[in-house]
Amino acid sequence: MSINWRKTVIVVLDIALAAYLVLAVTAFNEPDVKAKICTEVKIDINNDVTRGFLEKNDVKTYLQQQQAYPEAQPMKFVSTRKIEETLCQSPFIKSAECYKTQSGHVCISLVQRSPIMRIMANNGDDYYLDAQGDILPHSRYNRDLIVATGWISRDYARRQLKDVGVYLQDSPFWQKQIVQVNVLFDGTLEMVPRIGDHIIYIGTPDDLAQKLDRLRKFYKYGLNQAGWNKYSRISVEFDNQIICKKKENR
* pLDDT of amino acid 227: 74
Instruction: Give me the mean pLDDT over the 184-194 stretch.
Output: 96
Which candidate, 143, 210, 156, places its Cα nearest to that of 185?
Answer: 156
End-to-end CA distance of the chain: 129
What angle do helix axes 208-218 and 162-170 make, rounded to 10 degrees? 40
* pLDDT of amino acid 30: 46
Taking the mean position of all CA atoms in its chain, how far away is CA 240? 37
Rounded to whole angstroms, how far apart are CA atoms 128 and 144?
A: 12
Taking the mean position of all CA atoms in its chain, how far away is CA 213? 28
Most confident option among 42-56, 128-142, 197-211, 226-240: 197-211
Question: Across the strands, what pairs with 250?
Answer: none
Per-residue pLDDT tens for 91-114? 889 999 999 998 899 999 999 888
CB distance 116 to 129 below 8 Å: yes
Tell me which long-range contacts 21-24 makes (C-beta under 8 A, separation of at least 24): none
For residues 225 and 9, the model is more confident at 225
* pLDDT of amino acid 228: 73
Q: Which CATH architecture has domain 34-112?
A: Roll (3.10)
Looking at residue 38, its amino acid is C
* pLDDT of amino acid 177: 94
Per-residue pLDDT tens for 28-87? 444 454 458 999 999 999 865 455 678 888 899 999 999 999 999 999 999 999 999 999
* pLDDT of amino acid 229: 78
Looking at residue 137, its amino acid is P
Question: How far lies 127's CA from each of 43, 58, 92, 119, 138, in Å?
Answer: 26, 19, 12, 5, 5
* pLDDT of amino acid 33: 42
pTM: 0.73
Per-residue pLDDT tens for 146-169? 999 999 999 999 999 999 999 999
For the chain, domain boundaries:
34-112, 115-246
Per-residue pLDDT tens for 4-24? 555 555 555 556 555 555 554
Which candidate, 102, 107, 42, places its Cα nearest to that of 75?
Answer: 102
* pLDDT of amino acid 34: 46
Rounded to whole angstroms, how far apart are CA atoms 192 and 50?
A: 23
Rounded to whole angstroms, how far apart are CA atoms 72 and 94?
A: 27
* pLDDT of amino acid 28: 45
Express as a percent the part of the chain with pLDDT over 90: 58
Instruction: Give me the mean pLDDT over the 202-220 stretch.
Output: 93
Instruction: Give me the mean pLDDT over the 186-195 stretch.
Output: 95
* pLDDT of amino acid 25: 47
Within 10 angstroms of residue 239's Cβ, the number of other Cβ atoms is 9
Instruction: Give me the mean pLDDT over the 174-203 stretch.
Output: 94
- The three state secondary structure string of 77-121 is HCCHHHHHHHHHCCCCEEEEEEEECCCCEEEEEEEECCEEEEEEE
Most confident option among 3-7, 98-102, 141-145, 194-198: 98-102
What angle do helix axes 56-65 and 80-88 make, rounded to 10 degrees? 110
Within 10 angstroms of residue 192's Cβ, the number of other Cβ atoms is 17
- Classified by CATH at the fold level, domain 115-246 comes out as Rossmann fold (3.40.50)
* pLDDT of amino acid 221: 85
- Burial (CB < 10 A; 0-12, 13-18, 19+), residue 106, is buried
Strand order in the sheet with 93-100: 40-47, 105-112, 93-100
